[in-house]
Amino acid sequence: METPDQLLDRLLAAKAARRESLAALDYAGKVRIVLRLQRMTASIYALRGKVVRIWDIDEQTLRPRSDASLNRR
């Protein structure tokens, strides 16, 4: 059985490894994570009466979903 100190060491090592893997992601991977977080939290904020604007970006292509943004000058 693990001691509390061993458990803490293991958890801190796992946390450090997770942070390193997230830091190593490319830009597109990080944007995809932000999009998922926006979608996950939008309903929570809506229940609190806050207006949330989720980026209108396709998660796969990372391009705008609407063509309206392409017509801006």
SS3 per-residue string spanning the chain: CCCHHHHHHHHHHHHHHHHHHHHCCCHHHHHHHHHHHHHHHHHHHHHCCCCCCCCCECCCCCCECCHHHHHCC
pLDDT of residue 33: 95
- For residues 42-51, average pLDDT: 92
Number of domains in the chain: 1
Residue range(s) defining the domain that contains residue 57: 4-71
pLDDT of residue 44: 92
Q: What is the pLDDT of residues 53-67, one digit of tens each?
A: 899 999 899 999 876
Does this model's pTM top 0.75? My answer is no
